[in-house]
Amino acid sequence: MHYLMAITKRTIILIICVLISLASDSLAQNCSNYTFPSNQVFSSCSDLPVLDAHLHWNYIPSTKRIQIAYRAAQNSTGWIAWAINPTGLTMVGSQALVAFRNSNGSMTAYTTQVTSYNPSMQPQALSFPVSNISATYTNNEMTIFAVVGPFGNGTTFNHVWQAGNSISDDIPQSHPMAGPNTQSIGKLSFL
């Protein structure tokens, strides 16, 4: 009898733990219920399938520009990137927006082209205009804000996103070459 009571107590504790976990997961902020600290509002968003990342955007038909906010979980010594690849569904060929936290605590955001599997990650202009690029770091999450375009060739794009764990001399270092870091690709319609 004592043995059955012990099993029952363990079962009840396990059920309570599962319910608490489910409740906290349902309260987690996905892209549709996220509120930006700056009160910016985006009409569309996508919870990306890997790297705990989210893309928010406003498509502006009159100018064919897209206002974006790309946010991803990251520690203070890492970096994040979001990119459009006009030529394929790979990282190579991407036109990227990159952000990281400097050693003095300020954020850096810039554009770069990914031309190989070992890119320089130095600031470079892209094949399309980018304006108003900035980044924030709050609560172990980095966010890149920018306006991209105009795009004359449609509203559906190949996009890739990435994260790495280290910065050296203000340059993002290689990201892991397995798991979620190799699965961070997709197609996205801004309409």
Please calculate the CA angle 98-102-106 and round it to the nearest 5 degrees: 95
In angstroms, how far is CA 158 from the centroid of its own chain? 15
pLDDT in tens, 153-171: 788 889 999 898 877 777 7
Q: What is the pTM of this model?
A: 0.80
Predicted local distance difference test score (pLDDT) of residue 10: 54
Of 83, 101, 102, nearest in space to 93 by CA: 83
Element housing 7 (H / E) = helix 2-27
CA neighbours within 13 Å on the CB side: how many for 76? 7
What is the fold, at CATH topology level, of the domain defined by 43-189? Immunoglobulin-like (2.60.40)
Please calculate the CA angle 98-101-107 and round it to the nearest 5 degrees: 75
Of the chain, the percentage scoring pLDDT greater than 70 comes to: 79
In angstroms, how far is CA 103 from the centroid of its own chain? 21
Query: Is-contact 96 83, C-beta < 8 A?
Result: yes
Of the chain, the percentage scoring pLDDT greater than 90 comes to: 41
Domain ranges of the chain: 43-189
Considering only residues 80 and 183, tell me which one the structure prediction assigns the higher pLDDT. 80
Token match 């059955």: residue? 4
In angstroms, how far is CA 27 from the centroid of its own chain? 20
pLDDT in tens, 65-74: 999 999 999 9
pLDDT in tens, 82-92: 999 988 888 88
Q: How far apart are CA 156 and CA 165, in angstroms?
A: 30
Length of the chain: 191
SS3 category, 182: helix
Predicted local distance difference test score (pLDDT) of residue 95: 92
pLDDT in tens, 99-121: 999 888 899 999 999 888 778 88
Q: What is the mean pLDDT of the chain?
A: 81
Predicted local distance difference test score (pLDDT) of residue 166: 76
